[in-house]
Structure 1
Amino acid sequence: MNDQNILLELKYNFFGRIFRMLFYMFGIIISILLFNINLFSSLVAAFVFTLIVYIICDMCFFERVIFTNYHVIKEWRIFGKSIFNKIKYKDLIIEHSQKIHFGSGLLIFYKSNYKGYLKKIFKRLFFFIELAPINKNDIKKIREILIEKKILKGDEYDWKY
């Protein structure tokens, strides 16, 4: 990757990552406790357990998110091998959910040209960023880059950071 094309490189800070993992470990314990109450709570607990395990794995293997002149790239490092998910700005749609739990939020990136609803959901799962382990100045830089690339419009200019 050409370093002169990189506008911003995001990495989780160590303590934010540890705090979020402890929070999700607590969620796993609660989902296990809910598992034996009744059938509905078992189904909810199984869904929550699966989602939390996925998020913990994503946080463990997450390396960085890179904003270049033309793409947004998420990189994972799994057993020494780098895996990239790349989206061009012209195909990018962003969803921002601010402070959904304990002061954290999510940025969800996905392509606008996915065919089929299930494919959209599957691709969204693999390209989100938790905002708790990221510096607030970096969040402001993300916002500026997305405004410059004309991804954010209207009310999305008003992020509360």
Structure 2
Amino acid sequence: MSGIYLPNILLAIPRNPITAVGLPLALGFLSGGGSSKPVNSNWYHNLATPPGNPPKVVFPFVWTLLYLSMGYASHVAVKALDTSVAPSTRNDLSVGLGLYFAQLGLNYLWSPLFFSAHKTGLALIDSTLLLGTTLYMTKLLDRPTNAKATYFLLPYCAWLGYATYLNAGVWWLNRNRKDA
């Protein structure tokens, strides 16, 4: 896969560690901010859930840490891009950073799909694409950052796998409901 062009504004955001972590935090807050009402609704409380579903109080803490971690990984990646000269390394980093912004978009869409629209199947498709994108992004960023980005992204990858399992379980267990 050859490198992609990223506009300077997209590269400027992760160059600064504050904006690097601030962007995913802000998007997470905007996306998940509307989920508190649906989480307390009859619709959500009546959903069958798979084994291993954690208490809802866990999610804001976990996601805050994951947003901080993924944001810092983007900072590590763009700093590696700024100093790399090998074309293959630059390609991996530019594609990886492009995938970073793509996964942010997929991450942003999940809460409205699941909680607001009650589209658990579409949310599962989104979650699956998010997981695949993030795993591939992590693979691409590993070598050029000497695994530094990977250390910050592996917890996110693991959580996305778990979250996709939970979403799949909710979809499967409630697939015959008209409102799920």
Q: Do the structures match in fold with TM over 0.5?
A: no
Highest RCO, 1 vs 2 (Cα 8 Å, sep ≥ 6): 2
Greater share of residues in helix? 2
TM-score range, shorter chain: 0.3 to 0.5
TM-score by length of 2: 0.37
TM-score by length of 1: 0.40
